[in-house]
């Protein structure tokens, strides 16, 4: 595999926030040029972020700390065409719509959206509205079952205020672009926390060479899970350090937690194989200290952009990586999931939300010190 020269996108987000590689952490594997899900050609990411108000919670008024993330698996011109996909639920205390059809037929179409728990329905419905309005004659199906997912942001956000509207979902879809991806408290990840630190949106990628071809595996996470004492950064458990800043709240933190992982690849796989890839996100989460707590919705979707022309109309021929040769792709999913979670934590800042609840940022120096990187 040809070496990929390090780019600024490996170390910082487009807004200049440090990513995990900006701390010189020794990650395994070779990432793509942007170290993002958008390294899979044709995949794009867009956000709509809602931040407003401070002080005591007034339902329907705020404070607001939420948003929407849109992941487009294909360019808009062909986004109505189905792709092979697979789904896995590690712990089902959450929602990812469209999974019944994915389990039945092994495919899906249209943008993927991720938001807060009580806005998942409007994200789904607004995606259909966007398709009807934006695609015109290219969109002619009688019904749609788009993918919409959620994690809980009620510790910081007025989650029962229903601040996410159809226009915000459509704006996130319309804002989707390739290239470097912003991370941290943005889009659907705006109000999220992970291991008691501010988290949210994160992404990473890995390159895999197989049978003379170079393929990409990209992962995007909305990270909102984990118990503080379990936090592990590349094998170093740092969450139990009593000197780390703590969550501040006037009421008990119920640690309602979840993680959504979206896995994209340009390698040719069949639906049952994509389900197997999705399942491997489990190990990336476990590397960071996640244990799929009872209250956690740990839901993973994998798709391949290599599938085309798989709708009705006659016999189709497809190619695929044999199951016996799938292990390097499993490894890529594990590595990219772990790094995406750490990026969501490291490319972040402390946030105060409803009722003055404060979620601190993960101190960069503590991460570096655990790996002997502090001078």
Task: Tell me whether residue 15 is one of the annotated catalytic residues.
Answer: no
Identified catalytic residue from 39, 158, 266, 298: 298
Question: In the chain, at which residue ranges do the beta strands (DSSP E only) sit?
Answer: 44-52, 64-72, 83-92, 107-108, 112-116, 148-151, 193-194, 197-198, 201-210, 213-224, 232-233, 236-237, 258-265, 297-304, 351-352, 358-359
Task: Tell me whether residue 355 is one of the annotated catalytic residues.
Answer: no
DSSP 8-state assignment for residue 361: P
Helix axes 166-174, 120-135, angle to 10 degrees: 60
Task: Tell me whether residue 137 is one of the annotated catalytic residues.
Answer: no
DSSP states along 49-76: EEEE--SS-BTTTB-EEEEEEEEESS-G
Identified catalytic residue from 44, 201, 296, 344: 296
Identified catalytic residue from 258, 266, 307, 344: 258
Q: What per-residue string of b and e applies to 95-109 under the rule 16 or more CB within 10 Å gives b?
A: bbbbbebbeeebbbb
61 Ramachandran zone, left/alpha/beta (phi>0; psi -120 to 50) = alpha
Residues carrying an active site annotation: 258, 296, 298
């Amino acid at each position: 595999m040809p070496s990929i020269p390090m780019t600024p996108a490996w170390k910082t987000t487009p807004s200049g926030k440090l990513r995990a590689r900006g701390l010189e952490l020794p990650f395994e594997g070779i990432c793509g040029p942007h170290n993002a899900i958008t390294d899979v050609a044709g995949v794009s990411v867009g956000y709509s972020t809602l931040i407003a108000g401070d002080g005591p919670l007034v339902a329907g008024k705020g404070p607001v700390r939420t948003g929407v993330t849109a992941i487009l698996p294909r360019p808009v011109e062909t986004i109505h065409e189905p792709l092979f996909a697979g789904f896995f639920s590690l712990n089902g205390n959450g929602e990812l719509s469209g999974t019944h059809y994915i389990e039945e037929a092994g495919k899906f179409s249209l943008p993927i959206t991720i938001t807060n728990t009580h806005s998942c329905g409007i994200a789904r419905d607004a995606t259909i509205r966007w398709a009807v309005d934006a695609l015109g004659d290219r969109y002619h199906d009688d019904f749609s079952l788009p993918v919409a997912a959620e994690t809980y942001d009620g510790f910081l956000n007025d989650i029962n205020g229903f601040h996410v509207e159809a226009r915000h979902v459509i704006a996130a879809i319309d804002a989707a672009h390739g290239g470097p991806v912003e991370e941290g408290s943005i889009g659907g990840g705006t109000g999220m926390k992970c291991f008691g630190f501010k988290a949210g949106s994160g992404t990473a990628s890995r390159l895999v060479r197989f049978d003379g071809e170079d393929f990409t595996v990209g992962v995007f996470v909305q990270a909102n899970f984990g118990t503080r004492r379990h936090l592990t950064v590349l094998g170093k458990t740092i969450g139990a350090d009593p000197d780390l800043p703590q969550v501040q709240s006037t009421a008990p933190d119920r640690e309602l937690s979840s993680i959504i992982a979206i896995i994209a690849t340009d390698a040719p796989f069949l639906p049952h194989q994509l389900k197997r890839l999705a399942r491997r996100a489990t190990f990336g989460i476990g590397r960071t200290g996640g244990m799929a707590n009872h209250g956690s919705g740990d839901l993973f979707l994998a798709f391949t952009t290599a599938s085309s022309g798989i709708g009705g109309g006659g016999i189709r021929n497809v190619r695929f990586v044999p199951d016996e040769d799938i292990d390097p792709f499993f490894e890529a999913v594990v590595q990219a999931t772990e790094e995406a979670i750490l990026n969501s934590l490291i490319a972040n800042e402390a946030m105060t939300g409803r009722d003055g609840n404060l979620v601190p940022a993960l101190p960069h120096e503590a991460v570096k010190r655990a790996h002997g990187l502090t001078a």
